[in-house]
Amino acid sequence: MSPSKKILDLLVKVDRASQHLIDLQLKVQRFFDPPGPYEIIPEDDSLTRERTYYLRVHKRIPSEFSAIIGDIAQNLRSALDHLAWHLVQTSPVTPKARDRDIYFPIFEDASEYQRGKLRKIEGMTDAAIQAIDDIKPYGRLDKNNLSAGIGNLALYWLSALNVQDKHRLLIPAWAAAPAHSITKTKRTEMAETLREAFGSESARVMIGSSIDFSVPLEDGSKLCTLPISEVDDDMQFRFQMAFGEPASMRGKEILSTLNNMHRIVREIVFDFDRKGLL
């Protein structure tokens, strides 16, 4: 069955975010295309017999990327707010929140959500409110007790991105290096697994890096230090773009995080339709 006109209307902003995502992915791909923005500089210590790898930056991440990230967040957040507005306006429940006060409720923790949600969605049916409750649109159960559990972090991050983009500065994006070539000892240990998975124990694979993702890589940053006997002559590093802000997202990979946000918002719209709430 084809989507209803109401779903299509609610998906306009979601689809616009998708176009921005495609644009960002293409631009990021071109940014990292050979010869690439970064060069790896090895330096050997003859005393310790270790090799340290440093980063040489030839090209900075364009500020345009941050603007596109802000556009994606704005469109996805607006899609949720449009959904909330529709659920209030089509409900028989009164009184209703003023149009300018209607927002899809997203808060930092569960207590703030319970205290503040009704002023944003007054006039919704109980079924619609329960459907939003089920989404858990808050970051954590208790912001002061991180071990208490999480809610829907993707929605909380989306809201935090949107707030920062509208009220502060461009969202910082920086480079992170989450992986590097496997060491010789590790390759020997995994030889059988590599042969089964890739057909050769010499297959080029990478292992996780110990680099702190919460700190931006700059020109001259140290990537890692390894025994010279352990490294391949052609040592490779994998780079990705990470969020610099907001603080709760610092070091998170940008493209996969935004794609996940897009998927979740789209699923929310369809879920409300499946529940007969649109």
d(CA 152, CA 159): 11
Instruction: Please report which confidence band the pLDDT of residue 2 belongs to, taking 50, 70 and 90 as the band edges.
Output: low
d(CA 28, CA 61): 9
- The residue among 25, 81, 10 whose CA lies nearest residue 257 is 25
Predicted pLDDT at 94 = 94
Q: Name the residue ranges covered by the structural domains of the chain.
A: 5-274
Q: Which residues pair with 175 in a beta bridge?
A: 241
Instruction: Please report which confidence band the pLDDT of residue 6 belongs to, taking 50, 70 and 90 as the band edges.
Output: confident
Mean pLDDT value of segment 106-125? 97
Mean pLDDT value of segment 24-37? 95
Predicted pLDDT at 226 = 95
Count Cβ neighbours within 10 Å for each residue of 53-78 and write b for 16 or more, e otherwise: bebeeeeebeeebbebbbbbbbbbbb
pLDDT at 125 over 60: yes
Most confident option among 22-31, 146-155, 213-222: 22-31
DSSP annotation string for 240-276: EEEE--SGGGTT-BHHHHHHHHHHHHHHHHHHHHHTT
pLDDT at 215 over 60: yes
Mean pLDDT value of segment 174-200? 90
Predicted pLDDT at 172 = 85
Count Cβ neighbours within 10 Å for each residue of 159-195 and write b for 16 or more, e otherwise: bbbbebbeeeebbbbbbbbbbbbbbeeebeebeeebe
∠ Cα 173 208 48 (to 5°): 105
Mean pLDDT value of segment 12-27? 97
Predicted pLDDT at 44 = 97
The token pair at 24 is 């960002």
State how far Cα 253 lies from the chain centre: 6
pLDDT at 273 over 60: yes
Amino acid (1-letter code) at residue 161: L
Mean pLDDT value of segment 222-236? 91
pLDDT at 1 over 70: no
Residue with tokens 């529940």: 275
Mean pLDDT value of segment 26-44? 95
Predicted pLDDT at 3 = 67
Give the 3-state secondary structure of 122-152: CCCCHHHHHHHHHHCCEEECCCCCHHHCECC
Q: Which residues pair with 50 in a beta bridge?
A: 45, 227
Mean pLDDT value of segment 94-119? 96
User: What is the four-CA torsion angle of 7, 12, 16, 21, rounded to 10 degrees?
Assistant: -10
Instruction: Please report which confidence band the pLDDT of residue 162 belongs to, taking 50, 70 and 90 as the band edges.
Output: very high
pLDDT at 76 over 70: yes
Q: Which residues pair with 186 in a beta bridge?
A: none
Q: Which residues pair with 253 in a beta bridge?
A: 242
pLDDT at 193 over 70: yes
Mean pLDDT value of segment 100-109? 96
Predicted pLDDT at 179 = 93
> Do 108 and 117 form a contact (C-beta atoms < 8 A)?
no
d(CA 200, CA 131): 51
